[in-house]
Structures are given as C-alpha cells and as structure tokens.
Structure 1
Amino acid sequence: MDIKRNILLNPGPATTSDSVKFAQVVPDICPRENDFGTVMEFISLELTNLVASSGKCTTVLFGGSGTAAVESILSSVVDNGAILIINNGAYGKRMCEIAEIYKLNYIEFKSSPIDGIDLNELENKIRSYNINEKQYGITHVAVIHHETTTGILNDIKGVGKICRKYNIDMIVDAMSSFAGIPINMEEMNIKYLASSSNKCIQGMAGVSFVIANIEALEKTKSIKSRNLYLNLYKQYSYFKDNYQMRFTPPVQVLYALKQAIIEAKEETIEKRYKRYKSCCKILWDGLDRLKLKRLVKDENASMLLTSIIEPNISGYSFEELHDYLYERGFTIYPGKICSTNTFRIANIGEIYPEEIKNFIEILREYFHEIAKH
C-alpha cells in the first residue's frame, strides 16, 4: 500500500519511514502478556544503550507526550533542596511552570534565547545561592539541550562540568536532540534525561521516556509522592520487576518505536547527525540565496532547526506561506519567540538532502509569486 509522503519541517512529530508506520499493524495483544513485556524490555534497554551504559542507567517509559517525562522527573527527584532551572526559551519556561505547580524550591536562571549560556554567571549564581542558603543548597540543575523555540543548542557539557564541581544532579530535556545528536550521559554528567518517541528517534507520537542514572534514581525512593501516574521511582520499580508499565501503554506506538530503534541503530546516531547537518547546510545555503535572515548565529545553532526572521516585504504572510507549502507536501511551523517575528524549519526525521532542495525551490517559487503582485 502506498502512503502519501508529507515532509514535516515542524520540530516534531517528525517524518517517519513507511516501515515505522506499518510496524503498528500488529495482532491485538493484551499488554500484560509476556510477549509484549519482551517488546518493552527491548525498547527500554536499547534506548538506554544509545546514550549510556545499561549497567549504570535505565530507561523508564510513560504513555504521554514529552512533557510527561519532564514533569515526571521534576515532580519525583527534587526533595528538600533547590533546583535551578535554566530558562532560555519556551521549554525552559515550561519547566519553571511545572516547578511552580508542584511548589518546588526553584531558582529561575534566565539566559538569552539566541546566545550561549554564560557559564561564569551560572556558576556564580550557584555559588552565591549555596553560600547564602542556610539549610539546603542547590541539589539539581535543569536545562534544555536543543531549545526548539529558536534552534539554539545549549552547552550541556559545560553545564555538566559545573554540576560535577558542586555535586549537583543535572536534568536534561533532550526532547529534540536525543538520537539526533550524539550524547554520552556519563561524560556529560547527566543524571536524568527526558525525551519522546516522535522526534529524532523517528517514531510515532505517544511515548515519552526518562533515562536515569540508577544510583541517583534509587536515592529518590523515600521522597514523598507528589502524583500518581508520573511518579518516576514507582514506574521504574514496577517495570524492573514486571517489564510492564503500571498503567495501560500505547501498544501500537511501542511497536513503531521498536522499529524506529532498529532503524536508528542501523543508521547510527553519528551518521544520522551527519545527514541532518547535510540537510541543514542545504537549507542555510538556500535561505542565503533568498536573502532570508537567520535568528541564531551559526556557532550557537543546533543545525536541527532554524528560526528565520520573517521578511518585511509586500504581500508576505506566514499563513499564506504555510498553506502554499502545505499544499505541496511540506509543513512548516510559526515562530515562538516574542521579541522577533520568525518562522521555523526543522530538518529532523526521515528527511534527506534532495527533499530539502525541493523545499528550497518551492520556497523560491512562493517569493517569486508574491513579487509579481
């Protein structure tokens, strides 16, 4: 059966292979059966192996969007100490909103949405707080790896070094970088990493997961539960004993995720990142030829998503541009930064250089059309 191919240039869900789509067509099965437990065991182990040693880390699966994984970590691992949250975009802000809802003792560290994190300022903030706080210091730092608000790539390795120096556990939202950019949790000093099934791993939407350092996770056992569904330790403990989620999982999506993992291993994360960067270079060259300006400087860019400053020309509107591209098989996303009008183009997922070349040509046709009027 032929499936119409749409190229999703939004930052997720990403374009998937037909084999991932078809992997969902399976016989009905009760997720409490051992056969399905084997599927989830495979998924948990292989997701861990992409970024860490399975002897030191483990993957905890949840049904839900990526925010479920982030909320699970924040609500489950912070006890009496403080958590510093680096906010340089919509998803750092969302972490702050979660911390506020759970009444966590959190410090918001605001950083530029388009420039790199000032690591000296960050360290000074941590040192100052720990000196002045009489009872509890900062026990956790939370940061977004790839902030898709703008396409900036935060220096988690640098943040991790600071966390190691002050014996702080680092939490990383790697929603839009996991399986797209090589990550080594031990080298980068990441204790908890959150991601989901529908970004660079190139699966279908519906599963989120936390990859956690087992030693750090075991220490959270005695923290009083703040919720039911998203309690990280209880989900981990139940899965460890039963190879099942505590609550009904999205069965078909997990079969698709298994296939996506197989394909990621075949390609390798290094080669996938190389493919993504090749697509990005074609995109950037095309944008330069069209005289469309990019928001983030090259040295701070992820090369997985590009924010483009909207052109101030007669006849242009984002809605019309979106519809023009959508009718021709390409989906783009509006901007998310308040200070500048932008639109965003992601080049993650099952996308190849030739398709980006076709996209640039259609983009050129759109601007040619409005110039005639």
Structure 2
Amino acid sequence: MLLLIPGPVQTRAETRAAMAQDIAPWDLGFRAVYAGIRDDVRRIAGGVEGVHATLPLQGCGHFIMEAAIRTFVPVTGKLLIAHNGSYADRAVRLATEAGRQVVTLPGPDTRPVTAEEIGAALAADPGITHVAIVHHETGSGIVNDPEVIGPVVRAAGRRLILDSVSAFGALPVNLAAHPEVDVVLFTSGKCLEGLPGIGFAVARIDSVLAAAGNAGSWSFDLSDVYQHALRAGWGSFRFTPPVQALAAFRVALDAFAQEGGQPARLARYRENCRVLYDGVKALGLTPYLEPRHQGPVIVTVHQPADPAFVLQGFVDALKARGVLISNFHNTKAPSFRVGCVGAITPEDMRGAVAAIGGALDDLGVRRREAA
C-alpha cells in the first residue's frame, strides 16, 4: 500500500525495523542516542549550541503546539494568529482553551498571509506580544513563509511561534537568522520520515528561562522540560517516552543525512509534487491552489462536480488500487488531498496519478471540473 497522507508518512523498511526491540529509556546506551537526536534536530533547525535547545514532548503536533502556547505566551500576553487554514483554527482553540487572549488575522485558505497584513495587524494592536503562524497548512497546501513574516515581527519587537509540524525537514528553517522566533515546532512522523509519537520544540534558551511559570500545566511546560535536562542530562526524557519511536527516529535522521539533508529532501518532494499537480490537471481535475501558492507537502484537489463522486467511495476505490489518502477534507470548498512526502519517489507519484484516474473511471466520474 502506498501511503499518501501528510503524516504519518510512508517510511523506509529500516526505520520500521528499528521499532522491533525492547529498550529501557534510562539505559546509559540509549541516553547517548537520545542526546544525539537532540543535537541533530537543533542543527537541522539552524539552532546554535548554547542559544537554542531541543525540548521534546510525547504526543502529536497538537500537544507540542499547546505546550508552546502555554509556555511562551504569558496569561497577560496577547497572541496574533494568522488564520488562513484549518490548523490555524486549531491553534486558535488551543490558545483560547489555555486562557490566552487571541487576535485572529483572517485570510483565505488559498494563499499565504502577507508581510503587509501581519505588519498592519501589529500596528493596529500594540497589546499583541506574540505571533503564531502555521508554516505549512496541510488543509490546502499553502506555505506561510517565516522568511517573509519573521522580519516584520522582529521589526515590531514581538515574538514568533512557528508551527512547522508538517514542513520541518523539507522547508528550510534557520533559527540563527531569526532571533524573533521563540520556538519552531515539528513532529517525528512527517517530513523527517520517522514514526509518529514525539513532538519537538527547538527553542531559544533565554525565552525558555523567561517563560518559567507560564504554562499552568506540568505536562505541557517546555520550561520544565529544559530544567529536567539541566538536572538529569540531555539524554534523559522527562516522563516515559515512546522509546521505540525514538529509536526509529534515529534511523530516519541518519537516512535524512545520507540523502543530503533538507535541500535534497525538499528537491525530491518538489518533484513528487510537480508530478502529482501536473498529473491531476491532465486527468481533468482542478488543483485547489494556483501553482505560485502550491507547497511541496500535499496537493489538494477540488472534488469533481460529477454526482458520481463521493469522497469515501473515491478513497475506497483508490485503496483497492493500492493508494491510501485521507478520507476527509478541511478546506472551505470540498476537496481531497494527496500527500507528496514520505519515503516515496516521483515514480511512485506517477503510479498514484494512474490510480487516481482509474478510481475515477471505476466510479463513473466523467465531469471532473470543480464542484
């Protein structure tokens, strides 16, 4: 089965094989593995030793995002969220339920937020202390670029939380060049092609120290994760981790380096995306985004106007042909999405395009323009 979702992603056999062992997370041998993971992750993020620290947390992307909001945004602060996709919706809810004051900057889910829009929102409300952006919106596939937004936040003297859960490892991040970024967030089961189970924050140490006492939660306090590392060492995980997933992530990081790191990973994903985007257009389907706004992680496609198209039926027909995609959409207009990431190649994507065409034929979908 070819798994084409934005995460968990298709993984290499050697990555999956690393899960098939019993490990004690406190064992001295494994502590060295975990400490090495933290160093490698910091380097991929462009972090500087002694300035930035890797602060992992068990769980999914929502967990690490909630932890970042609780840790870095004090209860007296105010958070601006660029609101142009479904994962921004979730950030709004996480911040609101954490008791933080939220200001939303609404936008369409078909293009990135602009520097001008962020700048105007910050100028209009001097009370805003922090900005949160979703680097890659996996609802539609747009990219909110920190290279565009970061300088505006920095010039305004505010702080930035970068949710790069579905982009990190593919889209570049350079924390050394962005002192306005308190933290970048990602998970193990996305573009670094590990197994799911761990969220990672790479954060400025001075921001972590200043945030002590903000979280109102022991489990979701990244400043406590940092203090634990100081007390117990960088090879010690606070609370019991998904240790087999960590072992698999070590293998995935080695494969990432062998491939050529972030530039090579991005090049492969971009070619996967190009093959898919051009392929669905050739089938008569309508991509959700204009090419200039299309990110490399997923291609979202308008559902066809033909009444014979039903999303679950299409997913089932595609699965029967060996390709598994998400059976839901979270765009404003009805759509389906196909992932371009994971241990897959352009040749795999050509096979996926053929399977999409065959599944549409199986369902008798003739009118393929957007509904």
Name the TM tier (shorter chain).
over 0.9
Equivalent-residue separation in structure 2 for 1:357 and 1:224 (angstroms): 49
2:70–2:214 Cα contact (<8 Å) kept: no
Where does structure 2 lack aligned partners over 5 or more consecutive residues?
367-371
Q: Which residue of 1 aligns with 2:42?
A: 48
Q: Which residue of 1 aligns with 2:246?
A: 254
Equivalent-residue separation in structure 2 for 1:287 and 1:298 (angstroms): 13
TM-score (norm. length: structure 2): 0.93
Q: Which residue of 2 aligns with 1:63?
A: 58
Pairs within 5 Å for 1:133-152: 137-152=127-142
TM-score (norm. length: structure 1): 0.92
Q: Which residue of 2 aligns with 1:129?
A: 125
Equivalent-residue separation in structure 1 for 2:14 and 2:365 (angstroms): 43
Do structure 1's residue 271 and structure 2's residue 269 form an aligned pair? no
The count of corresponding residues between Structure 1 and Structure 2 is: 360
Equivalent-residue separation in structure 1 for 2:331 and 2:279 (angstroms): 26
Matched position secondary structure for 2:157: coil
Higher mean Cα deviation, 347-356 or 310-319? Answer: 310-319
Equivalent-residue separation in structure 2 for 1:30 and 1:338 (angstroms): 42
Deviations 1:67-118 (A, max 9, x none): 1110110011112221111111111111111111111122111122112213
Deviations 1:139-198 (A, max 9, x none): 211000000011111122121011110111110100110011222123244221111000
Q: Which residue of 2 aligns with 1:36?
A: 30
Q: Runs (4+) of structure 1 moved beyond 6 Å?
A: none
1:335–1:341 Cα contact (<8 Å) kept: no
Matched position secondary structure for 2:264: helix
Percent identity between matched residues is 25
Equivalent-residue separation in structure 2 for 1:367 and 1:225 (angstroms): 49
Q: CA deviation at 1:296?
A: 1.0
Matched position secondary structure for 1:153: coil
Pick closer, same or farther for the CA change 1:291–1:238 going to 2, 3 Å. Answer: same
Pairs within 5 Å for 1:166-245: 166-188=156-178, 189-221=180-212, 223-242=213-232, 243-245=235-237
Q: CA deviation at 1:338?
A: 5.1
Do structure 1's residue 311 and structure 2's residue 307 form an aligned pair? no
1:111–1:118 Cα contact (<8 Å) kept: no
Matched position secondary structure for 1:193: strand
Q: CA deviation at 1:314?
A: 4.4
Where does structure 1 lack aligned partners over 5 or more consecutive residues?
1-5, 131-136
Q: Which residue of 1 aligns with 2:67?
A: 72
1:176–1:200 Cα contact (<8 Å) kept: yes
Deviations 1:244-279 (A, max 9, x none): 122111110100011111111111110111001111
Q: Which residue of 2 aligns with 1:3?
A: none
Q: CA deviation at 1:367?
A: 2.5
Matched position secondary structure for 2:125: helix
CA RMSD of aligned residues (A): 1.6
Pick closer, same or farther for the CA change 1:300–1:197 going to 2, 3 Å. Answer: same
1:90–1:336 Cα contact (<8 Å) kept: no
2:72–2:182 Cα contact (<8 Å) kept: no
Q: Which residue of 2 aligns with 1:133?
A: none
Matched position secondary structure for 1:355: helix
Equivalent-residue separation in structure 1 for 2:346 and 2:332 (angstroms): 31
